[in-house]
């Protein structure tokens, strides 16, 4: 395996230098399922698991290896290895994990570009696309919006116009993985050393696009339901796939739920026209509800701002604000518990009690 062709640049090689001096091997995570990994090393493909010291040193689950990570591994046998360390990530695409706790779930690491795939059938949803764009912005990853299944759409140009209105600087490409239309336009974004991830809902056609870009039917696909254009999870795990011409793709399962793990700045960057309008309001603390001189309300009234997009903006802002408050409270509780443990340890340690050793 030529690791440089799948992204091992000077930054990665520099971060690995001290580990190489210890006899470890540089590798990239191809698949990650719980604590079982598949790695690409110069020596070939290896099954691997984390070392005990990595478990001990890692503060949280999101810091454990995920697809796309560069790692330092110790080869044990012909096809077995142990991951000793995760190299610093350049980018990390993450979402808020399912459940009530404010936990971050890493999707993939060290991505250069993301194809946000939407089907031009029942899957088409601009509000969902805004969520993906927000996460891409927060991850500092460039995005290209792929409107797949153009062969099933009666008015592709109208859909492109609708989509372009919410994507900002992100390019929009109409394609059909079934007929190969638009695939050549996607190929222009592939290059040696570059990693491109495909994200989108189940049934949007991500795996079919991967097969087209590989020019072979390597991965299984399935039909979608006619009632709602949703598909089964044919892709059941995230996987990094080296390209014959260099570079790599990361295929991902469809995400039924996309909860934001992002900051307010990322929302503002996706809704730039609303941010610009808000700056024109008469009052700096305008709530955009009933104040005179509200530029946002005026734009909605004259049809310059889509009410649905405004509602989406408000919803994402509320979600981000709730996330920020919850994570601050969680961090404060964890800090409080930490100091409770320290004080308890001091009380129970005779040499530390009252700052002096016990009397003889």
What confidence tens digit (pLDDT) does each residue in 236-290 have? 678 999 999 999 999 988 665 565 556 778 888 899 999 999 899 988 888 787 7
Can you give the pLDDT at residue 162?
95
Mean pLDDT, rounded, for 175-185: 93
Can you give the pLDDT at residue 123?
82
H/E segment holding residue 242: strand 239-242
The confidence band for 356, taking pLDDT boundaries of 50, 70 and 90, is: low
Can you give the pLDDT at residue 306?
93
**pLDDT exceeds 60 at position 318:** yes
Q: Which domains does the chain have, with CATH numbers?
A: 3-86 (2.40.50.140), 92-251 (3.40.50.300), 271-305 (no CATH)
Q: Residue written as tokens 């495909």? A: 198
Can you give the pLDDT at residue 223?
53
Q: What's the CA gap between 78 and 43, in Å, rounded?
A: 9
Can you give the pLDDT at residue 228?
44
Can you give the pLDDT at residue 338?
56
Helix (H, G, I), strand (E, B) or coil at 57: helix
Can you give the pLDDT at residue 100?
55
Residue 108's alpha-carbon distances to 62, 136, 249, 294, 340, in angstroms, are 10, 12, 11, 41, 36
In 3D, which of 75, 109, 76, 107 has the Cα closest to residue 92?
109
What is the DSSP secondary-structure string of 65-93? --TT-EEEEEE-SSSEEEEEEEPPPS-EE
Higher model confidence: residue 233 or residue 42? 42
Q: Residue written as tokens 């999101």? A: 62
Lowest mean pLDDT among 126-140, 153-167, 325-339: 325-339
The confidence band for 160, taking pLDDT boundaries of 50, 70 and 90, is: very high
Can you give the pLDDT at residue 30?
97
**pLDDT exceeds 80 at position 92:** yes
Phi first, then psi: give them for residue 30, nearest 5 degrees: -90, -45
Q: What percent of the chain has pLDDT over 70?
A: 79
Higher model confidence: residue 70 or residue 359? 70
**pLDDT exceeds 70 at position 219:** no
Can you give the pLDDT at residue 227?
44
In 3D, which of 307, 265, 273 has the Cα closest to residue 165?
273
Mean pLDDT, rounded, for 24-46: 94
């Amino acid at each position: 395996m030529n690791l440089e062709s799948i992204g091992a640049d000077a930054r990665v090689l520099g971060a690995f230098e001290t580990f190489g001096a210890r006899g470890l091997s540089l590798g990239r995570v191809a698949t990650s399922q719980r604590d079982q990994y598949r790695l690409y090393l110069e020596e070939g493909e290896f099954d691997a698991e984390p070392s005990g010291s990595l478990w001990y040193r890692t503060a949280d689950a999101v810091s454990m290896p995920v697809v796309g990570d560069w790692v330092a591994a110790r080869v044990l046998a012909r096809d077995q290895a142990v991951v000793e360390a995760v190299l610093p990530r350049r980018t990390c695409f993450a979402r808020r994990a399912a459940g009530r706790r404010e936990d971050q779930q890493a999707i993939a690491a060290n991505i250069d570009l993301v194809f946000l795939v939407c089907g031009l059938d029942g899957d088409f949803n601009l509000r969902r696309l805004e969520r993906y764009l927000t996460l891409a912005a927060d991850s500092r990853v460039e995005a290209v919006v792929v409107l797949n299944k153009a062969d099933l759409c009666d008015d592709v140009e109208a859909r492109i116009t609708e989509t372009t209105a919410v994507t900002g600087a992100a390019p929009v490409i109409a394609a059909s993985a079934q007929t190969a239309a638009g695939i050549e336009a996607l190929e222009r974004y592939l290059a040696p050393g570059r990693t491109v991830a495909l994200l989108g809902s189940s049934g949007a056609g991500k795996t079919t696009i991967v097969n087209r870009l590989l020019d072979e039917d390597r991965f299984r696909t399935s039909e979608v339901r006619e009632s709602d254009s949703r598909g089964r999870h044919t892709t059941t795990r995230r996987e990094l796939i080296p390209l014959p011409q260099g570079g790599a793709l990361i295929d991902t399962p469809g995400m039924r739920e996309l909860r934001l793990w992002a900051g307010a700045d990322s929302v503002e960057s996706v809704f730039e026209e609303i941010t610009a309008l808000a700056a024109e309001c008469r009052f700096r603390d305008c709530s955009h509800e009933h104040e005179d001189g509200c530029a946002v309300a005026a734009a909605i009234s004259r049809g310059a701002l889509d009410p649905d997009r405004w509602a989406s903006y408000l919803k994402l802002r509320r979600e981000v604000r709730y996330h920020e408050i919850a994570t601050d409270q969680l961090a404060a509780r964890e800090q409080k518990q930490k100091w409770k443990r320290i004080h308890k340890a001091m009380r129970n340690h005779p040499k530390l009690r009252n700052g002096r050793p016990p009397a003889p």
